[in-house]
Chain A
Amino acid sequence: MRTLSYAQAIREAHAQLLAEDPRVFLIGQGVRNPWYAGTSLQDLDKEFGAHRVIDSPVSENATTGTAIGAAITGMRPIVFHPRMDFMLLAMDPIMNQAANWSYLFAGRVSVPVVIRAVINRGGEQGAQHSQALQALFAHVPGLKVVMPATPYDAKGLLVAAVRDGNPVLYIDDRWLYDLQGEVPEGLYEVPIGAAVIRRSGRDVTLLATSYMASEASKAVEMLTQRGIDVELIDVRSVKPWDRNLVYSSVGKTGRLVIADAAWISGGTAAEIAASVAGEIFHALKAPIVRVCLPDAPAPTSAVLEQAYYIGAEAIVSAVEKVLVSSTRS
């Protein structure tokens, strides 16, 4: 199978969705400009016209609300927020409107909108160009939240999100844009709510989200060399998340490490940890360990950034800690 980068896979999904369905259109800041989107939207405006690839003013609130109004009246918009931090200016349309609409109106009206948000961490960009806010949106009933970690999933989850019929937050991480992987040529869906086992193992379940799934793969290599047999799960969807797969894996290994490059308090890792502890406590041989960002905004200084962002080494330490602290073998 041919190989594409993560960014190229996203672009291909957009292009094929725009070609397939006249209801699909794209609106947001910088959709015509690689400054914002990298190669993930390159030249789509030239291919499909500026009327379907709309480069909007800096108006997160109205742009998102406009997409929601278009979705309610029969379109399938994708809203693009090139830095997730700025998307907070659109919290009313996302949380109060899109998320509530189906329930509030007893399913008579729905909001088939995809809201694409990009995480842009690192590079001394600081606190307001770096936030990974999946937990904030996963908290809200009525929204779905997906976080692809591979080029294959980046394409397949976008297709599934556009076809889903509900408001879906599609969160991609710029640190993954150059990642290469196999991507089928045609349109295909990766089901929302389904996690995937990247590597099967006996000793410990390592569950990761988005960029941390990529770091987790590196960690697994190091751990394998030390004779530790890790089962690696890429969660892919954080709302809804795949309870069955996670419970079954933890039932087998008895140990769980969760890696999510977002703040630790009240996060996705906390939700999954609480659910596992609450539902299958008897299966656990050791306390659950979370590998997350500390509860501080992102610093700019390179030295502080280095200390702030976590990766494969922190995951390795966490897995070793879980094995050491096990009460039963």
Chain B
Amino acid sequence: MNLQDTHVTPLSHDQLMSLLWAMQRIRVAEERIGELVATREVRTPCHLSIGQEAIPVGVCTVLRQDDTVWGGHRSHGHYLAKGGDLRAMMAEIFGKVTGCARGRGGSMHLVDPAQGIFGTVPLVGATIPLAVGAGLSATLRGTDHVAVAFFGDGATDEGHFHESLNLAALYRLPVLFVCENNLYSTHLTLKDRRVKDNIVESAALHGLPGVVVDGNDVTAVYQAAQQAVDRARAGEGPTLLECRTYRWRGHVGPAADLEVGTDRRRELDDWQRRDPIAHCRGLLNAQGLSSEVFERLETEIRREIDEAVSFARQSPAPDESELLQYVYVRGEG
């Protein structure tokens, strides 16, 4: 199956600028988080998506505020791209009461219901069926909301993934399954875990379209996501997008885990030459983007990140009296 018949609008200069801004903002935020982890100011496990920014940005740009996204442990990018509050994310990573989960969640548990982010969790693949549920909910309520499950290639090894693809296809639910195939599941490469590089084939097996996308080309991700979202909103059911990308940093924290995998250094160099942000800048440079404009954009982003980190640092920790709160909701919840 393919999606070639669906109409895609070409991206304008302003749209490309907005994609570049969103990717650069994730990059700078995560580099800063990496520094905070390296200096031990931040202790909670932080999984960085540096090098993979084109996927959340390309997908979330075509979503509406009331569409939902469901992520895993590596979800700073999903949260920011979908409109999650930056200051609340930083404060959460610092374990502060001003954090998006009042300091209970840390980096792996981000939430911003007003932006359609109902929770990210580290159990691998766990939110895939939850996204299917959000799709079912939209269908039963008669809305045209779309749900997006973001997950890594490791999650496709889990049973959740296959059961969820089948359910979503069976009930024609408005769900995008977005596999960010960064070639690693903790320390294991794809070839350590599968006899074939065949994740996308799961789609055909379960009766939904599956598309392989260059995950480092934000325009390719955007266009594939646009087609899949259009399909979902039209009631035509789910799509699996396998976005090929690469994890620059290690499984957790800022180090690159160079001891992991035989050719990781060379692999990393190759993939860094395919930096999704540099790629987008290249498209804009061809349209006349000056380095002055880019530097101004970067300065503004850095100022915003600095401000968010200061906010997080200066925020109070939760009070001990909160310890047993929120185990249950009261009343109707």
Contacts and interface: CB of A to CB of B under 8 A. Distances in A.
B123 A66 contact: no
Given A57-B167, A57-B170, A63-B167, A70 B133 contact: yes
Contact of B333 (A25, A65, A69, A165): A165
Contacts of B113: 108-109
A73 B133 contact: yes
Among the interface residues B111, B130, B147, B333, which one has the most CB atoms of the partner chain A within 10 A? B130
Given A69-B147, A92-B123, A62 B329 contact: no
B134 A69 contact: yes
Interface string B113-144: 10000110101001111111111111111000
Among the interface residues A57, A62, A163, A164, which one has the most CB atoms of the partner chain B within 10 A? A62
Contact of B134 (A52, A57, A72): A72
Interface stretch (B43-51, B226-234, B282-290, B320-328): B320-328
Contact of B329 (A56, A73, A96, A102): A102
Given A62-B164, A62-B167, A67 B326 contact: no
Nearest to B70: A69
Nearest to A60: B163
A165 B121 contact: no
A66 B132 contact: yes
A97 B126 contact: yes
Contacts of A301: none
Contacts of B121: 96-97, 100, 104
A102 B327 contact: yes
Among the interface residues A25, A56, A66, A77, which one has the most CB atoms of the partner chain B within 10 A? A66
Among the interface residues B68, B101, B135, which one has the most CB atoms of the partner chain A within 10 A? B101
A279 B145 CA distance: 52
Contacts of B167: 56-57, 59, 62-63, 66
Interface stretch (B24-32, B102-110, B189-197): B102-110
B137 A104 contact: no
Nearest to A27: B136
A142 interface: yes
B187 to A, nearest CB: 22
B330 interface: yes
B164 A65 contact: yes
A74 interface: yes
B333 A166 contact: yes
Interface string B293-333: 00000000000000000000000000000000111111111
B10 interface: no
A60 to B, nearest CB: 8
B130 A52 contact: no
A74 B164 contact: no
Interface string A44-77: 0000000110101101011111111111111101
A186 interface: no
Interface string B202-219: 000000000000000000
Nearest to B97: A106
Interface in A1-30: 25
A311 interface: no
Interface in A83-135: 92-93, 96-97, 100-110, 112
Interface footprint category on B: 35 or more
Contact of B330 (A70, A106, A144, A165): A165
Among the interface residues A65, A97, A163, which one has the most CB atoms of the partner chain B within 10 A? A65
B140 A106 contact: no
A305 B215 CA distance: 59
A162 to B, nearest CB: 11
B164 A107 contact: no
A66 B118 contact: no
Contact of A110 (B126, B147, B329): B329
Contacts of B164: 62, 65-66
B136 A70 contact: yes
Given A69-B70, A108-B101, A166-B333, A142 B327 contact: yes
A184 interface: no
B166 interface: yes
B134 A110 contact: no
B101 A96 contact: no
Contacts of B145: 73
Contacts of B128: 62, 65
Contact of B118 (A51, A72, A106): A72
Contact of A62 (B68, B139, B160): B160
B126 A73 contact: no
Given A52-B140, A102-B326, A105-B105, A72 B159 contact: no
A297 interface: no
A96 B119 CA distance: 13
A66 B333 contact: no
Given A69-B131, A105-B119, 16 more contacts: A66-B133, A66-B164, A69-B127, A69-B130, A69-B137, A70-B133, A72-B130, A72-B133, A74-B137, A75-B137, A92-B160, A104-B119, A105-B105, A106-B104, A165-B329, A166-B328
Closest 3 CB pairs of A and B: A69-B133, A65-B129, A165-B333
13 contacts: A51-B139, A57-B163, A62-B129, A62-B163, A62-B164, A63-B167, A65-B128, A65-B132, A66-B133, A72-B133, A73-B137, A74-B141, A96-B123
